């Protein structure tokens, strides 16, 4: 596939570094309490001052410490309230602490959190999942990473095949097979350090370019792939939409070559009420959804077909073998998360809620496109339901490589600080914008106005080589 859609920075390195320093100074001045808590947490024992290292990797002088988050807003310890379009990187896609979810959880607080036994609400949850996502059988996990791992183990057991096929620059949580890249045409660890020494990546993974029809034909023809693990829309490294017929092609190839198809819908649930696969008539063997499925309470689900169920019943004749395979966990499927999931699915993530989310996202994307045009920048906005992505390319990227190569970390660092210093928050590490049912027009208009101000600043400081 050709590479005509190649990124060039509009601002030279000294200029963008000066602009970053200006915003960093303003950030420090605005957030003294967060700065103090960061220092205290570092001294008290949290590595890098945070309970999870990602929290310190936003490209900020120090993390923001949160006081509270409700609806579509977040307030930090220094008293700034942000229009929140990050929403916990999708975990709070339906708003922070949705009322019905909160009420269901609160109602059950004195009736136990976890028992390692099924809760009565399991019947209603299972029935809703079956109807909504058009797969007959479901299981729970604590995270989408866990759910993906469970599916991989099942697929390997049923096929006897070792490899998982993923796309370049994909993200599926911390699944080992997905933490890979191509080096001289062979799968290799994505990080500089091999976290699985002794296990060669090319023995467990195959990698293809998203939207490359020939690429996946060639790799699946080896017939050593247990499962293809893929987002219907790439969303974690910039956004890449599927080409016409691509996912249908992948689905047909999986059936031809005896591989299973797993669609990771953790982010593409934002497409609509039933997720991307159902909305577009796809028939995957497995679907995984995490993050937002219970309103932000930690739980994930994976669904599978009748033939998968029959194969599992035949293969795992002794049901106790599944626990020996690592399909589960003590806290998995507990009453707490079932109550939260039931309330979220039936009262929060409704068709009307999705209509409103998509309406707000459309308003945001339209506004960003107008701001890009006004600033004279050759950038684009990619859309997927309630989700939109500002990308530093003249057209929507066709694959993970194009999208990855346009992630200008200097521009990303500057834009995020610029927005935060003006009380707007978007998803870190790229430019993803997500709207919840709680997102209001005023919040969207603020996002667009601040982004427009930032684009005008970039346009005013662009160097000659970057002028469109």
Residues 429-443: pLDDT tens digits? 999 999 999 999 999
Considering the domain 13-96+351-466, what is its CATH architecture? Answer: Alpha-Beta Complex (3.90)
Identical fold between 13-96+351-466 and 99-348: no
Apex 11 CA angle, 10 and 14, nearest 5: 160
- For the residues 76-93, what does the mean pLDDT come to? 98
Smallest CA-to-CA distance from 437 within 96, 106, 103 is with 96
Q: Are 147 and 208 in contact (CB under 8 A)?
A: no
Distances (CA, A) of 261 to 229, 254, 257, 392: 6, 6, 11, 31
Give the angle subtended at the CA of 181 by the CAs of 176 and 187, to the nearest 5°. Answer: 80
Which structure tokens are listed for 8? 């060039």
CATH top class, domain 99-348: alpha beta
Whole-number pLDDT of residue 109:
84
Contact 83/447 with Cβ under 8 angstroms?
A: yes
* Residue 197: predicted pLDDT: 80
Q: Please, what is the end-to-end C-alpha distance for the chain in angstroms?
A: 24
The reported pLDDT for the residue numbered 448 is 98
- pLDDT of 463 reads 86
Tens digits of residue pLDDT in 304-317: 999 999 999 988 86
Tokens 């890098």 — which residue?
Answer: 48
Reference 367, options 420, 291, 444; nearest CA is 444
Hunting for tokens 């959804």 — which residue is that? 289
Rounded to an integer, the average pLDDT of 402-410 is: 96
Q: What pTM, to 2 d.p., does this model score?
A: 0.95
**Where is average pLDDT lowest: 77-81, 188-192, 406-410?**
188-192
Question: Is 108 a residue whose pLDDT tops 90?
Answer: no
Tokens 């796309």 belong to which residue?
167
- C-alpha triplet 120, 93, 127: angle, nearest 5°: 30
pLDDT of residue 467: 45
Q: Domain boundaries in the chain?
A: 13-96+351-466, 99-348
Q: Identify the pLDDT of residue 23.
A: 98
Answer whether residue 395 shows pLDDT above 70.
yes
Q: What is the pLDDT of residue 318?
A: 66
Query: In the beta sheet, which residues pair with residue 66?
Result: 76
CB-CB contact of 245 with 212 (8 Å): no
Q: How confident is the model at residue 278 (pLDDT cuts 50, 70, 90)?
A: very high
pLDDT tens-digit series, residues 308-362: 999 999 888 666 677 778 888 999 999 999 999 999 999 999 999 999 999 999 9
3-state SS of the chain is CCCCCCCCCCCCHHHHHHHHHHHHHHHHHHCHHHHHHHHHHHHHCCHHHCCCHHHHCCCCCCCCCEEEEEECEEEECCCCEEEECCCHHHCCCCCECCHHHHHHHHHCHHHCCCCCCCCCCHHHHHHHHHHHHCCCEEEEECCHHHHHHHHHHHHHHHHCCCEEEEECCCCECECHHHCEEEECCEEEECCCCCCCCCCCHHHCEEEECCCCHHHHHHHHCCCCEEEEEECCCECCCCCECCCCCHHHHHHHHHHHHCCEEEEECCCHHHHCCCHHHHHCCCCCCEEEECHHHHCCCCCEEEEECHHHHHHHHHHCCCCCHHHHCCCCCCCCCCHHHHHHHHHHHHHHCCHHHHHHHHHHHHHHHHHHHHHHHHHCCCCEEEEECCEEEEECCCCCCCCHHHHHHCCCHHHHHHHHHHHHCCCEECCCCCCEEECCCCCCHHHHHHHHHHHHHHHHHHHHCCCHHHCC
Task: Report which of 260, 277, 208 is spatially closest to residue 1, judged by C-alpha positions.
Answer: 208
Q: Would you place residue 5 in the very low, low, confident or very high pLDDT band (cuts 50, 70, 90)?
A: confident
222-258 pLDDT tens trace: 999 999 999 999 999 999 999 999 999 999 999 999 9
CA-wise closest residue to 447 among 380, 386, 366 = 366
Asked if pLDDT for residue 462 goes beyond 70, the answer is yes
Sign of CA dihedral 12, 17, 18, 24: positive
């Amino acid at each position: 596939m050709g590479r005509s859609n190649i990124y060039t920075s509009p601002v030279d390195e000294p200029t963008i570094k000066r602009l970053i320093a200006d915003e960093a100074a303003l950030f420090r001045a605005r957030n003294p309490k967060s700065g103090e808590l960061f220092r205290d947490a570092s001294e008290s024992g949290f590595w890098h001052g945070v309970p999870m290292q990602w929290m310190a990797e936003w490209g900020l002088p120090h993390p923001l410490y949160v006081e509270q988050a409700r609806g579509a807003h977040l307030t930090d310890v220094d008293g700034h309230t942000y229009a929140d379009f990050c929403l916990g990187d999708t975990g709070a896609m339906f708003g922070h602490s949705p009322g019905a979810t909160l009420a269901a959880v609160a109602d059950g607080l004195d009736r136990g959190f976890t028992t390692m036994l099924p809760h009565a609400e399991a019947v209603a949850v299972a029935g809703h999942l079956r109807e909504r996502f058009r797969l007959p059988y479901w299981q729970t996990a604590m995270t989408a990473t866990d759910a993906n791992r469970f599916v991989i183990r099942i697929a390997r057991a049923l096929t006897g095949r070792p490899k998982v096929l993923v796309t370049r620059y994909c993200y599926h949580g911390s699944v080992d097979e997905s933490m890979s890249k191509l080096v001289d045409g062979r799968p290799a660890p994505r990080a500089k350090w091999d976290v699985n020494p002794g296990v060669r990546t090319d023995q467990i993974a195959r990698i293809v370019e998203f939207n490359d029809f020939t690429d996946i034909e060639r790799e699946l023809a080896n017939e050593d792939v247990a499962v293809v693990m893929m987002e219907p829309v790439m969303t974690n490294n910039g956004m890449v939409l599927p080409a016409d017929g691509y996912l249908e092609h992948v689905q047909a190839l999986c059936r031809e070559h005896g591989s299973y198809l797993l669609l990771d819908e953790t982010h593409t649930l934002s497409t609509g009420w039933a997720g991307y696969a159902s909305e577009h008539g796809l028939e995957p063997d497995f679907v995984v959804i995490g993050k937002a499925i219970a309103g932000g309470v930690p739980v994930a689900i994976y669904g599978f077909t009748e033939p998968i169920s029959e194969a599992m019943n035949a293969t795992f004749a002794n049901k106790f073998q599944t626990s020996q395979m690592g399909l589960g966990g003590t806290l998995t499927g507990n009453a707490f998360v079932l109550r939260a999931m039931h309330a979220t699915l039936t009262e929060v993530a409704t068709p009307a809620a999705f209509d409103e989310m998509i309406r707000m996202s459309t308003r945001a994307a339209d506004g960003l496109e107008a701001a890009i045009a006004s600033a004279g920048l050759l950038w684009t906005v990619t859309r997927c339901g309630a989700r939109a992505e500002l990308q530093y390319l003249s057209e929507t990227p066709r694959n993970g490589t194009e999208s990855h190569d346009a992630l200008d970390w200097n521009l990303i660092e500057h834009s995020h600080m610029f927005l935060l210093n003006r009380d707007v928050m978007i998803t870190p590490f790229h430019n993803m914008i997500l709207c919840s049912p709680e997102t209001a027009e005023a919040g969207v208009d603020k996002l667009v106005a601040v982004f427009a101000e930032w684009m005008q600043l970039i346009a005013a400081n662009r160097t000659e080589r970057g002028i469109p």
